[in-house]
Amino acid sequence: MRFLALIPIIILALYQLDKALPKYYIFDPEKLQELSKASIERHPNNVTELMYDLTDALQKEYGEKHVMPFSTDPEKWMFSNHGNAMGSMIILHASITEYLILYGTPLGSEGHSGVHLAHDYFTILQGIEKRYMPGELEATEYHPGDQNWLPRGTRSQYMLKGWALELAQGWIPSMLPFGFLDTFTSTLDLPNLWRTVRLTAEGMVGQLLIGKF
Ligand X SMILES: *[C@@H]1O[C@H](CO)[C@@H](O)[C@H](O)[C@H]1NC(C)=O
Minimal distance in Å, beta carbon 159 to ligand X? Answer: 24
Q: Which is nearer to ligand X, 48 or 186 (CB)?
A: 48
Q: What is the DSSP letter of 122?
A: E
Q: Which is nearer to ligand X, 48 or 84 (CB)?
A: 48
Q: Is 211 left (phi over 0), alpha (psi -120 to 50) or beta?
A: left
Minimal distance in Å, beta carbon 107 to ligand X? Answer: 16
Total residues belonging to the chain: 213
Cβ-closest position to ligand X: 46
Q: Which is nearer to ligand X, 43 or 66 (CB)?
A: 43
Minimal distance in Å, beta carbon 54 to ligand X? Answer: 14
Write out the H or E segment, with its range, that includes residue 199: helix 190-209
End-to-end Cα spacing for the chain: 34
Minimal distance in Å, beta carbon 207 to ligand X? Answer: 29
Q: Which is nearer to ligand X, 49 or 202 (CB)?
A: 49
Positions that interact with ligand X (CB under 6 A): 46, 48-49
Cα separations in angstroms, 126 against 27, 136, 144, 157, 182:
21, 25, 5, 19, 26
Residue 136, C-beta contacts closer than 8 angstroms, at least 6 positions apart: none
The rounded Cα 152 to chain-centroid distance in angstroms is 13
Q: Which is nearer to ligand X, 53 or 182 (CB)?
A: 53
Beta bridge partners of 131: 140, 158
Minimal distance in Å, beta carbon 106 to ligand X? Answer: 11
